[in-house]
Amino acid sequence: MPAPLSVSDRERAILAPYAMFSDESAGRKHPQEEHAFRSPFQRDRDRIVHASAWRRLSGKMQVFTGDRGDYHRTRLTHTMEVASIARTIGRALRLNEDLIEALALLHDLGHPPFGHAGEDALAECLAAHGGFSHNRHALTIVEELELRYPEYPGLNLTREVLSGQETRIDKRGAAVPLLEVQVVETADSITYDAHDTDDAVKLGLVKLEEFASVPLAGDVMRQVREHYGPLSADMLRKTVVRELIDRQVVDVIAATTERLAATRPASAAAACRAGWTLGISEELAHDKRALEAFLYQRVYRHAELLRVRSDAQRQLKRLFARLQERPREMPEPYQRRAEQVGLPRAVGDYIAGMTDRFCEAQYERLA
Ligand code: MG
């Protein structure tokens, strides 16, 4: 049997010099001995997957609610798609895949029920108490709300994973984050552009033909037709969506490889100071923005989605008010939390953890 390779030896053998090596991690708030065969970032990834908040992602909407059937993405499947695309990019660039996966699985963990509609409603409810952001809430979950260890609250994740998530909160003036963090950010946008196109067409909000005149999607559609000839509408949609992802992933890897070759960063820190950020090429980015503008107008602002949005916001605000009047309707940990962080914040944290259906059920029960 071959001798097992230590985590450090394995990373030194595989990763590029500009990757984040786990033996250079700044560690955890509560120091812990290293695991015999899992890297620190791999443990972070596993801790997130075992968290209760993680499991509830399956009941949280991405763009479409469960009323529309079971075809479309949930917050969970979106997250898995982001992780897989991010890992593809990270592996090709020889970055730390364990760190990438942990960051990807964490990135939307703080989403409240009903997606951005829910987030905006909670932000309004908490306007006088520090507001609400799903990105910040992900940190509250992994640092305070998840109670899985006898010694401390939270998951005690590495500082690299926590600070990677912090960079999502306020990007203004912030230092350039690790390449692994930038990969996840880029993969997130590749993922939602592609799957929102897929879901919107499949659910009949937009016809695939309408994308023909939209940059990026239109180019991809022409290329698919040239290559395959006539396809059924269903197969055309699937092929276009797959090619849409592939074109962007190939572009990011090529653009980044060029920048890496030109600047040759010798460490993860040097890559952050190299004067560029990871992403798709400017030419493709231009087309991608046009696709996003189309999705915004035709999908996210679709009358049906706006109706779902206002219903969700009305429910969530009403539930928030009700729970403030009757805090004993909350589970005990949140009643205790109210003593530490104040009632409004504790109610917000409780609601933010709900799935869409549980939120609706609580609204029916209390409103
Ligand atoms: Mg996301």
CA of 246 to the centre of ligand 1 (A): 18
Long-range CB contacts (< 8 A, 24+ apart) of 326-331?
326/366, 329/366
| pLDDT surpasses 80 at 258 | yes
Q: pLDDT tier at 304 (50, 70, 90 boundaries)? A: confident
CA of 107 to the centre of ligand 1 (A): 6
| pLDDT surpasses 90 at 70 | no
| pLDDT surpasses 80 at 172 | no
CA of 168 to the centre of ligand 1 (A): 11
Q: pLDDT tier at 90 (50, 70, 90 boundaries)? A: very high
Are 114 and 359 in contact by the 8 Å Cβ rule? The answer is yes
- Each residue of 83-106: b (16+ CB within 10 Å) or e? bebbbbbbebbebbbbbbbbbbbb
Q: Within a 10 A sphere around the Cβ of 50, how many other Cβ atoms?
A: 12
CA of 8 to the centre of ligand 1 (A): 30
Percent of the chain with pLDDT over 90: 89
DSSP conformation letters of 119-150: HHHHHHHTGGGT---HHHHHHHIIIII----S
Q: pLDDT tier at 65 (50, 70, 90 boundaries)? A: confident
CA of 255 to the centre of ligand 1 (A): 22
CA of 233 to the centre of ligand 1 (A): 28
Using CA atoms, how far apart are residues 317 and 329, in angstroms rounded to an integer?
A: 16
Are 317 and 124 in contact by the 8 Å Cβ rule? The answer is yes
Q: pLDDT tier at 68 (50, 70, 90 boundaries)? A: confident
| pLDDT surpasses 90 at 66 | no
Mean pLDDT score of the chain: 95
The predicted pLDDT at position 355 comes to 96
Using CA atoms, how far apart are residues 25 and 41, in angstroms rounded to an integer?
A: 9
CA of 75 to the centre of ligand 1 (A): 8
CA of 211 to the centre of ligand 1 (A): 23
* Residue 255 to residues 20, 29, 259, 292, Cα–Cα distance (Å): 20, 36, 6, 21
The predicted pLDDT at position 71 comes to 80
Tokens representing 120 are 């905006």
Q: pLDDT tier at 4 (50, 70, 90 boundaries)? A: confident
Please compute the mean of the pLDDT values over residues 306-318 and round it to a whole number: 94
Q: pLDDT tier at 272 (50, 70, 90 boundaries)? A: very high
DSSP state of 211: G
The predicted pLDDT at position 67 comes to 75
Please compute the mean of the pLDDT values over residues 68-74 and round it to a whole number: 82
Are 305 and 56 in contact by the 8 Å Cβ rule? The answer is no
CA of 179 to the centre of ligand 1 (A): 17
Q: What is the pLDDT of residues 325-362, one digit of tens each?
A: 999 999 999 999 999 999 999 999 999 999 999 999 99
Closest alpha carbon to 44 in 54, 89, 174, 189: 54
CA of 92 to the centre of ligand 1 (A): 21
CA of 108 to the centre of ligand 1 (A): 5
| Lowest mean pLDDT segment, chosen from 35-49, 61-75, 150-164, 190-204 | 61-75
CA of 340 to the centre of ligand 1 (A): 30
Are 344 and 146 in contact by the 8 Å Cβ rule? The answer is no
Sign of CA dihedral 148, 151, 154, 158: negative
Are 183 and 167 in contact by the 8 Å Cβ rule? The answer is no
Q: What is the pLDDT of residues 199-254, one digit of tens each?
A: 999 989 999 999 999 999 999 999 999 999 999 999 999 999 999 999 999 999 99
The predicted pLDDT at position 332 comes to 96
The predicted pLDDT at position 72 comes to 86
In three-state form (DSSP H/G/I as H, E/B as E, the rest C), the secondary structure along 13-50 is HHCCCCCCCHHHCCCECCCCCCCCCCCHHHHHHHHHHC
The predicted pLDDT at position 167 comes to 93
| pLDDT surpasses 90 at 3 | no
